[in-house]
Amino acid sequence: MSQDSFIPQKIVPVLVPMPAERPYSYAVPDGMEVKAGSIVRVPLGPREVAGIVTDGSTDSIDAKKLRPISELFDCPPVDGDMLRFMRWAADYTISPPGMVARMVLRVPAAFDPEPPVPGLRFAGREPDRMTGARARVLELAEDGMAWTRTGLAHAAGVSATVVDGLVTQGVFEHVMIPPRPVVAAPDVDYAKAALSGEQEGAAAQLVDAVSAGGFSVSLLDGVTGSGKTEVYFEAVAKAIEKGKQVLILLPEIALTQQFLDRFHDRFGSKPGEWHSDLAPRMRERVWRQVMEGQIRVVAGARSALFLPFQELGLIVVDEEHDPAYKQEDRVYYNARDMAVVRGHIGNFPVVLASATPSIESQVNAGQGRYNRIKLTGRYAEAAMPDLKSIDMRRSPPRPGGFLSPALVEAINRTLHRQEQSLLFLNRRGYAPLTLCRVCGHRFQCPDCSSWLVEHRFRGQLVCHQCGHHEARPEACPSCGTLDHLVACGPGVERIAEEAEKTFPDARIIVLSSDLMGVKRLRLELDAIARGEADIIIGTQLVAKGHNFPNMTLVGVVDADLGLANGDPRAAERTFQLLSQVTGRAGRTGKKSLGLLQTYQPDHPVMRAIVSGDSQAFYEREIEERERSGLPPFGRLGSLIISAATRVEAENHARALRRAAPVSPQISVLGPAEAPLALVRGRHRFRLLIHGTRKADIQGFIRAMLAAGPKERGSVRVQVDIDPQSFL
């Protein structure tokens, strides 16, 4: 510093999309101005990658190894709240900060502005000679708006040479047209819904929260069809009015065309969409336009939380209980919980909406941390469906079938009234298990510990874990006997087969995510809504988001299905799913019926659904959670240790277990072989960390990982804080 000739080189930490524990240091070239949040291109080994300049100190680094930033992108910096959020997310989930940055940066072409396209604009001069074609062109362009050459010719219905002629005469001048916004700005006054009294009261509370600003969480708790969407749209309108950006998270965004239409009905334009089915070019545009503030409202899947909003002022999490909010890939996080954190960091309100809130949110509302807003009735004259269980012990299906006489009769009555029935079974394919009747051989995935599921439409046996598939053989591979393979249990395809036999004149559609792409599904859902099917057989994707006006019967083929899997949330999940599915019926005022086929009609879940007394069910579940110290009364973390061989995985898991610190508040369970002991050829063990509500689970796990053996060879350790899955 004392020598004039010595100019200290500026060094900054950069988060690169890598599983590194710390940011890497880079030199800032002369004349480049970077700050925390700047998006830059940096060399990384032999490659160049995009990274985010972060704040904080840099590691000391050998000057010879120090490499300069290659480029500062022409892009606004990620804002300070977002940087804080990223840091928080990495800390909380025990993920390398670079992997969180990677989630922000997965839009390679969006860091430079989209280039303007060449266009033409009316220059104010009349052509020397007017023709009909020229008049049509001028009529369109006279207001001075810029057009592309081909766009203008096409719109005017003339050949491009007509336009060229006008250019030659100086009637049009060349201009550059900036990239167009992917969606128009929402208009808060476009078509405000006339809310019912109860809806009005709920909306007012949300609007107040947005007006007041500051962090708050509201739990919008209303039965299916009560108009939660209409209600939170008013909060969205308020936030837009305040000049804020809004994020609406939806669990199954790719399938919620209806949601986008409803948004359009209310605001006169669609929201920006964000999900994994967007074309890459569109993803990049949406990302860039969110960053630049052109897009004011995003409707997105969980990953939309990592979009670079600059003025975020409200997040709505619709169907907040939905398990799809949990990401279990690289960075394991729950988008519902992260949304609340994002609101806290950005100091703005968060709305959680559900007909069947998660136990966590129920408890938070019960203890006053969240503001509970109730909607008790369905909108307008629509009544809730009449719900009944069918005791399968007393009313069994005919041999080889899965539909009880009572359900068959209800479907017949519905067909007779020319209304729609939904048969729900959360199992893809034809049969979940295939075995040989002679030797008992079961078809299992070679790489996973799961049975192969027969998909008869595709003629294959498929592993639902890894996608492995093989043709269904004629002969048993074990004993060689021909034609003695039997399908055990039903999947949707098998129910469809039974329905086709039982109701030969009905139009039947099977909806299952494996049978069609998102585009097809959207079309099918629209067709159903228009009444083009009588019986719809589907997995859980039919439970979400769609309103079928003519659907008056919902039959749950196997209501017990989710109860038997040893997951502490099994009852809660089953309750939520069954409420949601049966809630599909009778949305538009017709008398409707929900029937649950069950072997356990006295199970608390069935009772709660049939009686409509969800409160008693929740109270009981909450009590049970509290007694066993499970979330939200205690904390869980889980470590999944996997390796190419069973012994490596087990040894590593045991060594980690031994490295666990001693804590009066935290205990370690396991290692135990995971219920899914083998996935994609990797053997899996689990450790479960259970702590009290105040326990520092993350600190404990970090200490364990630091003291234990490092990942080496084929061994991988995945941390899952607040695990949802125990498989």
488 in a known ligand binding site: no
Q: Does 193 bind ligand ADP (CB under 6 A)?
A: yes
Residue 447 binds which entry of ligand ADP, Zn ion, none, CB below 5-8 Å type-dependent:
Zn ion
Residue type, 16: V
The residue (of 116 and 446) whose beta carbon lies closer to Zn ion is: 446
What totals of helices (H) and strands (E) does the chain contain, helices first?
19, 31
Q: Which of 37, 77, 119, 222 binds ligand ADP (CB under 6 A)?
A: 222
Do 526 and 498 form a contact (C-beta atoms < 8 A)? no
Distance CA 284, CA 342 (A): 22
Continuous segment of H or E residues that includes residue 678: strand 666-679
463 in a known ligand binding site: yes
The residue (of 397 and 545) whose beta carbon lies closer to ligand ADP is: 545
CB of 547 to ligand ADP, least distance (A): 5
Distance CA 361, CA 352 (A): 8
Q: Does 429 bind ligand ADP (CB under 6 A)?
A: no
Residue 222 binds which entry of ligand ADP, Zn ion, none, CB below 5-8 Å type-dependent:
ligand ADP
Binding-site size for Zn ion (CB under 5 A) equals: 7
Q: Does 32 bind Zn ion (CB under 5 A)?
A: no
Residue 236 binds which entry of Zn ion, ligand ADP, none, CB below 5-8 Å type-dependent:
none
Do 101 and 52 form a contact (C-beta atoms < 8 A)? yes
Residue span binding ligand ADP (CB under 6 A) among the ranges 134-142, 221-229, 604-612, 686-694: 221-229
Do 466 and 478 form a contact (C-beta atoms < 8 A)? no
Which two structure tokens, joined as six digits, stand for 539? 């997995």
Continuous segment of H or E residues that includes residue 487: strand 485-488
**DSSP class of 214:** S
CB of 353 to ligand ADP, least distance (A): 7
Residues between 224 and 243 with contacts to ligand ADP, criterion CB under 6 A:
224-230
Strands 245-249, 11-15: pairing is unpaired
Residues between 441 and 500 with contacts to Zn ion, criterion CB under 5 A:
445, 447-448, 463, 465-466, 468
Cis peptide bond N-terminal to 178, omega within 30: no
Angle at 247 between CA 242 and CA 249, to 5 degrees: 150
The DSSP secondary structure of 434-473, one letter per residue, reads: EEETTT--B-B-SSSSSBPEEETTTTEEE-TTT--EEEPP
CB of 464 to Zn ion, least distance (A): 8
Distance CA 668, CA 661 (A): 10
Instruction: Assign residue 293 a region (left: φ > 0; alpha: ψ between -120 and 50; beta: otherwise).
Output: left
CB of 316 to ligand ADP, least distance (A): 11
Binding-site size for ligand ADP (CB under 6 A) equals: 16
Residues between 354 and 383 with contacts to ligand ADP, criterion CB under 6 A:
379
Residue 448 binds which entry of Zn ion, ligand ADP, none, CB below 5-8 Å type-dependent:
Zn ion
The position carrying tokens 């491009």 is: 160
Residue 468 binds which entry of ligand ADP, Zn ion, none, CB below 5-8 Å type-dependent:
Zn ion
Residue 324 binds which entry of ligand ADP, Zn ion, none, CB below 5-8 Å type-dependent:
none
CB of 445 to Zn ion, least distance (A): 3
Continuous segment of H or E residues that includes residue 480: none
CB of 265 to ligand ADP, least distance (A): 8
The residue (of 514 and 624) whose beta carbon lies closer to Zn ion is: 514
Residues between 565 and 604 with contacts to ligand ADP, criterion CB under 6 A:
587
| CA 21 distance to own-chain centroid | 27
439 in a known ligand binding site: yes
Which residue spans within 57-189 are E strands per DSSP? 71-72, 117-122, 172-177
The residue (of 304 and 679) whose beta carbon lies closer to Zn ion is: 679
Continuous segment of H or E residues that includes residue 537: strand 535-538
Closest CA to 229 of 133, 318, 136: 318
Residue 379 binds which entry of Zn ion, ligand ADP, none, CB below 5-8 Å type-dependent:
ligand ADP
75 in a known ligand binding site: no
User: Within 555-613, where are the H helices?
Assistant: 570-582, 604-611
The half-sphere exposure of 606 on its side-chain side, counting CA atoms within 13 A, is: 20
Closest CA to 363 of 632, 568, 571, 575: 632
Residue 667 binds which entry of ligand ADP, Zn ion, none, CB below 5-8 Å type-dependent:
none
CB of 219 to ligand ADP, least distance (A): 13
The residue (of 195 and 701) whose beta carbon lies closer to ligand ADP is: 195
Which two structure tokens, joined as six digits, stand for 391? 């005791």
Residue 466 binds which entry of Zn ion, ligand ADP, none, CB below 5-8 Å type-dependent:
Zn ion
Annotated binding site for Zn(2+): 436, 439, 445, 448, 463, 466, 476, 479
List of residues contacting Zn ion (CB under 5 A):
445, 447-448, 463, 465-466, 468
List of residues contacting ligand ADP (CB under 6 A):
193-196, 199, 222, 224-230, 379, 547, 587
Annotated binding site: 436, 439, 445, 448, 463, 466, 476, 479
